[in-house]
Amino acid sequence: MIKFENVSKRFEDKEAVEEVNLSINKGSIYGLLGSNGAGKTTLLKLLSGIYTQDSGHVTIDEKMVYENPDVKRRLFFIPDYPYFFSQYTIRHMGSFYRNMYDNWNEERFNHLVKAFDIDPNRKLHKYSKGLQRQAAFILALSTMPEILVLDEPMDGLDPVVRKNIKSLIIEDVAEREMTVLISSHNLREVEDICDFVGILHKGKMLIEKELDDLKSDTHKIQLAFKDGAPEGIFEGLKVLHQENRGSVLLCIVRGNEDDIVKKVKRFDPVIFDMLPLTLEEIFIYEMEDVGYAIKNILV
């Protein structure tokens, strides 16, 4: 299990991550979402042992990560800009990782190089951004990591390659319980692949939940009343957003569905619809709730 306990990390005068708590179960695919500069990359680098925290604990199966090569060998981190040694081909990089990772799988490496159509003898720096990212995935998956840490993983990949890579990741999760931590702004992709989601804002974890629970805990409601919305309609409810659309009141409410239905129906609405929300909508309304709203930017 991956655990962050009260983890803080500061850069000069900037608190990048503040008292973050986070747990990721083995075999889970965890989507780390957040506004720009929220601290996502910092968290991934703390988990990968690239940074050390100022306070708190980052552990994998109760072992500290930083300066612990045995633990670091169990994970592979693909940063937002994959790094290769200058003048190296994918074969050279493969040899480098073969020496580092005990579980390196040569057969899989050769198979993936062919499957992704990467020339094993071409220098990696000559490849496009998307092909370099493909090379990073080939290398990462050939190390057979227990934990795969991905920073904006699908950026620059075409839809066919995305689908292939997602299938490979899901296969590794299903077959050998690989754990995946993904930071992404592509919420559709996260919704597609992740089972757990954390939303980070200004260095703090706003929400950490199973994706299904998050979705079943946030509701879009359309309401209309004979003589306008009565006083106290929202009493006892956590309303993230509300707006009038003609005579219909649209609101986003967090909480238990049955409880919301019971509370609202007391006021006898003439229209009452409860609609599902996408992860993207949930993200936008949760951000609005902490003052990070699209309307502020448009004013």
- Please report, as ranges, the residues that interact with ligand ATP according to CB under 6 A: 11-12, 14, 16, 34, 36-42
C-beta of 43: minimal distance to ligand ATP in Å?
A: 7
Looking up tokens 């995935």, which residue turns up?
A: 137
DSSP code at position 125: G
Is the Cβ of residue 40 or residue 74 nearer to ligand ATP in the bound state? Answer: 40
- The distance in angstroms from the start CA to the end CA of the chain is 44
Structure token pair of residue 76 = 């592979």
C-beta of 36: minimal distance to ligand ATP in Å?
A: 3
Is the Cβ of residue 145 or residue 203 nearer to ligand ATP in the bound state? Answer: 203
Angstrom distance (rounded) from CA 59 to CA 96: 26
Element housing 205 (H / E): strand 204-210
Is the Cβ of residue 43 or residue 253 nearer to ligand ATP in the bound state? Answer: 43
SS3 105: coil
Any residues with CB less than 8 A from the CB of 88 and at least 6 apart, and which? 96, 123, 124
C-beta of 76: minimal distance to ligand ATP in Å?
A: 19
C-beta of 136: minimal distance to ligand ATP in Å?
A: 17
Looking up tokens 């990467």, which residue turns up?
A: 118
Angstrom distance (rounded) from CA 75 to CA 65: 10
C-beta of 8: minimal distance to ligand ATP in Å?
A: 12
Question: Do 143 and 101 touch, CB atoms closer than 8 A?
Answer: yes
C-beta of 255: minimal distance to ligand ATP in Å?
A: 28
Is the Cβ of residue 33 or residue 251 nearer to ligand ATP in the bound state? Answer: 33
Closest CA to 52 of 11, 1, 24: 11
Is the Cβ of residue 41 or residue 143 nearer to ligand ATP in the bound state? Answer: 41
Is the Cβ of residue 40 or residue 254 nearer to ligand ATP in the bound state? Answer: 40
Question: Do 36 and 11 touch, CB atoms closer than 8 A?
Answer: no
